[in-house]
Amino acid sequence: QSLTHLIQQLPKAELHLHLEGSLEPELMFKLARRNQIQLPYADEAALHQAYQFNNLQEFLDLYYQGTSVLNTEEDFYDLTFAYMKRIHADQVIHTEVFFDPQAHLARGVSLETQLRGITHALAEARHQFNISYRLILSFLRHLSEEEALNTLEQALPYLDQIAGVGLDSSERGQPPEKFTRLFARCHALGLKVTIHAGEEGPAEYVWQALKLLNAERIDHGNRALEDAELLIYLAQQGIPLTMCPLSNQKLCVVPELDQHPILQLLEKGLCVTVNSDDPAYFGGYINDNFQALVNHLPVLPHHIYQLCRNSLIASWMDPSEKQQAL
């Protein structure tokens, strides 16, 4: 089919991807064996069987459990390189990836170890596959602002490797306003800011991310649709939304993919993009997410063009890189 062909061949950027969420069951078991860690599943099939979620928190519980196999520099290298190799097949020419340092610091894995593995793999992939990248340090919103500030202090020696910061994990009851001081500090350090908001939380959390945390992008943003004034603001300011269709389906953010708001938002003039979030858990990488939209919504070729173009526009590439990509 021609839309499928178009999806496969168009150059694109991925802007919403958690490296820990790209840990495939096969690699999880391999790293568990290598590190002599016991997983609470008999095999890969049993693990995969457990990937059924009613909400964000049920997913996060398994996601953090999965990170227990990531302990050495080599583990972070293998995780990151496998993702880069996989997206090369999807015509991704640029990717901006999140990692959750606090999840690993809590297990005694140093930031140095995490970053060495991740950045070596990213650099090797740029060399082998010609994929450019940015790395985003994401703070866990279920933890305190104090703990996040402490993590930021630990990251200061490595800021040359980190383009920006994010905020993820459990959204309900964890408003952006809780982290106002943290993101003011990040801003002063010259870091870019992108915030998960409006996935399960209300449109008000999107406003807070924009007004209190100075977010340049919003990750998910589904519930912006409930606030007409917010939609106008997002469109006028050109604030991108990094949407994740298969994630939304698996976490019951939308009842069915045919109810996904992405085309409505695109037609209202918002800079929306398609991304995979946690592909190992949600059943597909970026092109699978495009294909899922095609399978459930009245997607036309010009939508695919615009979504791919938006991903390049919304990226944090340097202006000259961006010019060339566009």
Q: Is 199 a binder of ligand ADE (CB under 6 A)?
A: yes
At residue 128, φ and ψ (nearest 5 deg) are -80, -35
The correct pick among 192, 196, 250, 309 for binding ligand ADE (CB under 6 A) is 196
CB 313 within 8 A of CB 326: yes
What does 73 interact with, of ligand ADE, Zn ion, none (CB < 5 to 8 A by kind)?
none
The reply to whether 277 sits near Zn ion by the rule CB under 5 A is yes
What contacts 281, CB < 8 A, 6 or more positions away? 21, 51, 59, 62, 63, 250
Among 14, 15, 18, 192, binds ligand ADE (CB under 6 A): 18
Q: One-letter amino acid identity for 65?
A: Q
What is the spatial distance between Cα 242 and Cα 268, in angstroms, rounded to a whole number? 16
CA–CA gap between residue 70 and residue 31 (Å, rounded): 7
| Ranges within 102-161 binding ligand ADE (CB under 6 A) | none
Q: Which residues make Cβ contacts (< 8 Å) with residue 188, sequence separation at least 6? A: none
Least separation in angstroms between residue 199's CB and ligand ADE is 5
Amino acid identity, position 277: D
> Measured from the CB of residue 321, what is the shortest distance to Zn ion in angstroms?
24
Output the CA torsion 308→194→55→101 (10° steps). 110
Annotated catalytic residue 124: no
Q: Which residue has the tokens 């990836």?
A: 97
The tokens describing 28, both together, are: 């999880």
Q: Which is nearer to Zn ion, 90 or 277 (CB)?
A: 277
Q: Which of 28, 39, 56, 163 touches ligand ADE by CB under 6 A?
A: 56
Q: How far is the CB of 300 from ligand ADE (least distance, A)?
A: 28
277 is a site residue for ligand ADE (CB under 6 A): yes
Q: Which two tokens stand for residue 207?
A: 């406003």
Residues 6 or more apart whose Cβ sits within 8 Å of residue 54: 252
Task: State the Cα–Cα distance between residues 216 and 199, nearest whole angstrom.
Answer: 17
Chosen from ligand ADE, Zn ion, none, partner binding at 24 (C-beta under 5 to 8 Å by type): none
The reply to whether 303 sits in an annotated binding site is no
Counting beta carbons within 10 angstroms of the beta carbon of residue 210, is it exposed (0 to 12), middle (13 to 18) or buried (19 or more)?
buried
Applying CB under 6 A, which of residues 246, 278, 279, 309 lies at the interface with ligand ADE?
278
The verdict on whether residue 296 carries a ligand-binding annotation is no
Instruction: Report, in Å, the least distance between residue 241 CB and ligand ADE.
Output: 13
Q: Which of 22, 247, 275, 276 binds ligand ADE (CB under 6 A)?
A: 247
Residue 249 binding target from ligand ADE, Zn ion, none, CB below 5 to 8 Å by type: none
168 binds ligand ADE (CB under 6 A): yes
Distances (CA, A) of 150 to 17, 105, 136, 182: 24, 11, 17, 10
318 marked as part of a ligand binding site: no
Q: Which is nearer to ligand ADE, 48 or 142 (CB)?
A: 142
The active-site residue out of 14, 96, 199, 200 is 199
Q: Which residues bind ligand ADE (CB under 6 A)?
A: 18, 21, 56, 63, 168-169, 196, 199, 247, 277-278
Q: Which residues are annotated binding-site positions for substrate? A: 278
**Which residues are marked as active site?**
199
